[in-house]
Amino acid sequence: MSIRSIEDFDPRDAAGFKEHITRREPVVLRGLARQWPVTKAAQGSVTGLIDYLAGFDRGATAEAFVGAPEIAGRFFYGENKNGFNFERRRGPFLPMVRSIADLASEAEPPAVYIGSVPVPVVLPGMDGANPMPLLADDVVPRVWIGNRSTVSTHFDESENLAVVVAGCRRFTLFPPEQVGNLYIGPLDATMAGQPASMVSVRDPDLAAFPRFDTAAAASLTAELGPGDAIYIPTLWWHNVEALEPFNMLINYWWRDGPPTAGSGLEAMVHGILSIAHLPDAQRRAWRAMFEHYVFRENGDPAEHLPAAHKGVLGEPTPALHARIRQFLIGMLGRG
């Protein structure tokens, strides 16, 4: 079975990229950040990159995931799915980065990565020196640094633009509708906040997870080197492999919906509590209600009501957001 490559997009076409986002399809932007000073520093050597980072370091701390050599870089659940196969350690950011670089000389190093750390927190000023013109200025860049590792297939509730600075990363993406073929783990016991697939993309056990073959047939993949970027739409499942002894990535998350929008995952979990275990006929009835009120299959469900009487169906504003929260808190309190 051949896996399809993700489409490339001209990174110079900022207007076209913004239009492309509306299609919610992944795309690779080759060379988008090739001229960043940090990327150029990484192209010289890992030592040169760390020296560049040191110019912005102010001694902030960060958290790292650390796993034994036996996990082969795959951060996952522990044996018998009890706990996890890694531990979390906090320490000064730059010394941890240096220790990751030092592991390159070991034949069987532990797996280590520092993930999702806001750049302005640990490297203040580096975001201004390496700007991202495709996004709004208030979108905060986050840095990921580690050795060879695999982040299991998961989704984000935000739009995602990820830029490889050093090393090489392989991205394998699955459309949202493949969720039923990905064998997702617990929704409430996750490695880093988002549910993840139980299937190893590189070595899938099709006897245990037979439907994964269907997901694999629908997957898209891309390998990115320094300066390359990838846009991953909201709710697209993605598996990320860092392939070199030292890897660095900067990503940007942003939401396109109203600023008051809550978490879809939280809403879904509440739906599980309220609806998932009802009789079939009742679930079908609630599906019709969700399609009408939430997914708006029939248009605006309150178009026949005067604005003053639309209640929770009104236009999203901070005031309405507060009203809905209080309405939900009251409902949950009665439960």
DSSP assignment string, 2-64: PPEEPPB--TT-HHHHHHHHTTT--EEETTTTTT-HHHHHHHH-HHHHHHHHHTT----EEEE
Quick one: pLDDT band at residue 335, thresholds 50, 70, 90? low
User: Which among 57, 104, 244 is positioned nearest to 167, based on CA atoms?
Assistant: 244
pLDDT at 5: 87
- Name the E strands within 167-219: 169-174
Q: What mean pLDDT do residues 280-306 have?
A: 95
CA distance 41 to 319: 47
Q: How far apart are CA 253 and CA 181, in angstroms?
A: 26
Specify the higher pLDDT residue, 40 or 307.
Answer: 40
| Window from 13-22, 126-135, 213-222, 243-252 with minimum mean pLDDT | 13-22
Mean pLDDT of 131-141: 94
**Is pLDDT at 332 greater than 80 in this prediction?**
no
Which pLDDT belongs to residue 14?
A: 87
| 329 confidence band (pLDDT: 50, 70, 90) | confident
Give tens-digit pLDDT for 16-53.
998 999 999 999 999 999 999 999 999 999 999 999 99
CATH 2.60.120.10 domain range(s) in the chain: 4-254
Sign of CA dihedral 306, 309, 314, 320: positive
**Residues of the chain above pLDDT 70, percent:** 99
Say which residues have a Cβ less than 8 Å from residue 81's Cβ, sequence separation at least 6. Answer: 185
Least confident of 79-88, 93-102, 124-133: 79-88
- pLDDT of 256 reads 84
Give pLDDT, residue 326.
84
Instruction: Give the pLDDT mean for 120-147.
Output: 96
For the chain, where are the alpha helices, taking DSSP H only?
14-21, 37-44, 46-54, 93-102, 119-122, 126-129, 212-217, 264-274, 280-293, 318-334
Query: Which has more pLDDT, 224 or 80?
Result: 224
Shortest CA distance to 155 belongs to which of 110, 183, 209, 195?
A: 195
* Residue 193: DSSP 8-state: S
| Residue 74 to residue 201: CA distance in whole angstroms | 11
Whole-number Å distance between alpha carbons of 239 and 197: 9
Residue 66 backbone phi and psi in degrees, to 5:
-130, 125
Span 90-105, average pLDDT: 97
Give the pLDDT score at 3: 63
Model confidence at 1, pLDDT cuts 50, 70, 90, reads very low
- The stretch 274-285 carries a mean pLDDT of 96
Please check the confidence at residue 334 and state whether its pLDDT lies above 80: no
Return the CATH number of the domain spanning residue range 4-254: 2.60.120.10
Contact call for residues 30 and 11 (beta carbons, < 8 A) = yes
Task: Tell me which of 317 and 142 has the higher pLDDT.
Answer: 142
Residue pLDDT, tens place only, 232-269: 999 999 999 999 999 999 999 999 877 777 889 989 99
| For residue 199, pLDDT beyond 60 | yes
The DSSP annotation for 177-189 comes to GGGGGS-B--SSS
> Residue 112: in which H helix or E strand, if any?
strand 111-118
Are 217 and 176 in contact by the 8 Å Cβ rule? The answer is no
Is the per-residue pLDDT at 103 higher than 90?
yes
Q: Comparing 262 with 118, which gets the higher pLDDT? A: 118
Query: Quick one: what percent of the chain has pLDDT higher than 90?
Result: 78
Q: Is the pLDDT of residue 2 over 60?
A: no
User: Is the whole model's pTM more than 0.75, yes or no?
Assistant: yes
